[in-house]
Copies of this chain bind each other. A is one copy, B any other.
Amino acid sequence: MSGYKGKVQRLLKTASVNVGDKIKVEDAGRTYEGVLMPRTELGDPNHLVIKLKSGYNLGIRIRTGTKISLLEKGTPPKLGLPKLEIRPDPSKPNVTIIGTGGTIASRVDYRSGAVFPAFTPEEIYSAVPELAEIANIKVVEACNVFSEHMTPELWIKIGKTVTDEINSGADGVVIAHGTDTMHYTAAALSFMLKGLHRPVVLVGSQRSSDRPSSDAALNLISAVAVAGKSDIAEVCVVMHGSMNDDICLVHRGTRVRKCHTSRRDAFLSVNDLPLAEVREREVKPLRTDYNKASRSGRITLNAKFEPMIALIKITPGLSSALMEKMIRMGYRGFVLEGTGLGHVPASLFKGIRKAIKSKIPIVMTSQCIWGRVDMKVYSTGRDLIEMGVIPGEDMLSETAWVKLMWVLGQTRNPKKVAEFMRRNVAREISERTTPIAFPVGFPSKTEFNQAGTSL
C-alpha cells in the first residue's frame, strides 16, 4: 500500500482504494478530491496525501469519522524517476528556467522516500509534468548558493543570464530562487534590466519539494505560465496567494516582501496591488498599469552597484558613534529605516550631518513597512529634510537599499542621487499611498482557536 500503515491503511482497504486512484475524502464537513499519492516511510502514519487538481499535494489527517470513497480507478505511479521524453512544440512559448541554487523541483521516490532533485529539463518535466503542456523548457544555471548567501555580484550574474536568454529569443524567463532574499534580487533585477520587453519571473518555495505539502509545483507551474503566456514585461515574483493551494499572485519586483517565515503565502505586495493572479495556469491581470510585453526589443544590462551601502534600522537612543565609524570605514550611502513617518533620535543628527557634509547620501524609509515617509509633519522630519536627508516616499527599505546601491553605481553627484532616489525607475514608488493590503483587524476567536493546525 505504498507507505500507508495501520488505521489509514485499513480505511483505504475498506474503500477498495489504491495509490493512483481518484478519491474523495470527507472530514468534519469538508470534502477533498484528488489522486491518492504514495507515502514515504518517514511520513506521519495518520495522514494520507492526495494530489489536487491544481497539482498541489495535500496532506489530510485521518480521524475517527473521516470518510474515504473511490471516485475513479487510476494507474499506480511508477517507482523511481522516469525519463519523460521532450518533444519541443513550436506552438508553445520558449521559457528558460535559470537555476540559482538548490533544486528547481524534486520528486520523492515512492519506495525509499528519497528525494530526486531535478536540474535538467528531463528531470523537471518528470517532476512537474504539467510544465510540458505550457512551454518548451530550457534550463540554465547562473549560480549555486542558498539565497541567504546571495550577493550583488551574483545579482549581476543572474542579470547577465536573463539578458542573454531574452536577447537570444526566450519568450520569458523564470528564476528559481531561495525565498530568503528573493525580493532583494527581484529589486536588483528591476533596476538592472533596461528595455525589458518580456516577463522575468522569480519563483521559490516555502516548503521543500520533498514534503507532501510543498508549494513548489504550483508556484513553478504558475511562474512558467506568467513567463510564457502573460504580457507583463516586468520583473516579478510569483508565489502562493493564500494558504489554499488554488492561487498564485504576481507581485511587482520592487514592491514585494517576504513577510512570514513559513507560510506559503509569505510574499506580499506592500503599498501596492499584485499585478495579476494565476489560477490553474491562467494568468488574470488585476490591473492595467504595468509594462506591456512586446515581441521585439533588446535588453541592455545596467549592472553597476556600489556595495558599500548600509541599511540601518533605527532603535531608540541610537548614537552617532556607529555612523561616524561607518563613514570612516568607507560606507558611501545610508538607508535609515526610521520610526513612524521617517524619524530618528536627535542623538543621530551629528552623524547624519557629518555624512551629508562628506557627500554621502542618506535616504529615509520607515520600519513601519506599510505607509509612506512624510517628513513635513513633525519638527524632527523637517530638521532631517533641512539637513539634506532624502525621503524614500513609500519605497520598501529593502528596495531603497538596493536602489541606492544601483544609483551610486550610476552617479556620485549628490544632487543627481537625490533626484534618482525620488524618481520612479522601476515603479518602486507610488504617487499616492493607498491603505491597501494592510493586515486589517484581527482574527476572530474561532480563527485563533483553530490556528496552528494548518500552518
Q: Does A263 have its Cβ within 8 Å of any Cβ on chain B? A: yes
How far is A222 from B333 in the complex, measured between Cα atoms in Å? Answer: 43
| A361 interface hit (Cβ, 8 Å) | no
**Which of B287, B326, B439, B452 touches A432 (beta carbons < 8 Å)?**
B452
Partner of A443, one of B322, B437, B454: B437
The interface residues of chain B lying within 8 Å CB-to-CB of A436 are 442-443, 447-448, 451
Q: Which residues of B contact A274 (CB under 8 A)?
A: 442
Does A316 sit within 8 A of B, measured CB to CB? yes
Q: Is the CB of B434 within 8 A of A448?
A: yes
Q: With A261-B371, A263-B371, A263-B438 as given contacts, are A273 and B316 in contact (CB-CB < 8 Å)?
A: no
A433 → B minimal CB distance (Å): 7
A434 nearest CB neighbor, chain B only: B451
Given the complex, which residues of B lie within 8 Å of A287, measured CB to CB? Answer: 445, 448
Contact A370:B263 (CB < 8 A) given known A146-B378, A243-B435, A311-B313: yes
Instruction: Report whether A241 and B372 are in contact in the complex, using a CB–CB cutoff of 8 Å.
Output: no
Q: Is the CB of B241 within 8 A of A317?
A: no
Within the complex, which residue of B307, B366, B442 is in contact with A273, where a contact is CB–CB below 8 Å?
A: B442
Chain B residue nearest in CB terms to A148: B343
Q: Specify the chain B residue showing the minimal Cβ separation from A451.
A: B434
Cβ B262 vs Cβ A374 within 8 A: yes
Q: Determine if A380 and B341 form an interchain contact, defined as CB atoms under 8 angstroms apart.
A: no
Instruction: Among B153, B259, B346, B366, point to the contact of A438 (Cβ < 8 A).
Output: B259
Question: Given that A286-B445, A439-B439 are contacting pairs, would A184 and B315 also be in contact in the complex, using a CB cutoff of 8 Å?
Answer: yes
Q: How far is it, in angstroms, between the C-alpha of A11 and the C-alpha of B342 when the chains are bound?
A: 41
A455 within 8 Å of B by Cβ?
yes
Cβ of A442: which chain B residues have Cβ within 8 Å of it? Answer: 241, 249, 268-269, 273-274, 286, 436-437
Contact of A316 among B150, B313, B325, B439 (CB under 8 A): B150
- Interface: A359 (CB within 8 A): no
Q: Please list the residues of chain A having a beta carbon within 8 angstroms of any beta carbon in chain B.
A: 146-153, 155, 178-181, 184-185, 241-243, 249, 258-263, 265-266, 268-269, 273-274, 286-287, 307, 310-313, 315-317, 321-322, 325-326, 329, 337-347, 366, 368-374, 378-380, 397-398, 401, 432-443, 445, 447-448, 451-452, 454-455
Shortest 8 CB-CB contacts between residues of A and residues of B: A261-B371, A434-B451, A439-B439, A148-B343, A180-B340, A180-B339, A151-B317, A434-B452
A-B contact pairs, 18 of them (CB 8 A): A148-B316, A178-B340, A180-B341, A241-B441, A241-B442, A259-B368, A259-B438, A261-B340, A261-B373, A263-B370, A311-B315, A313-B397, A325-B325, A434-B451, A434-B452, A435-B451, A436-B447, A437-B443
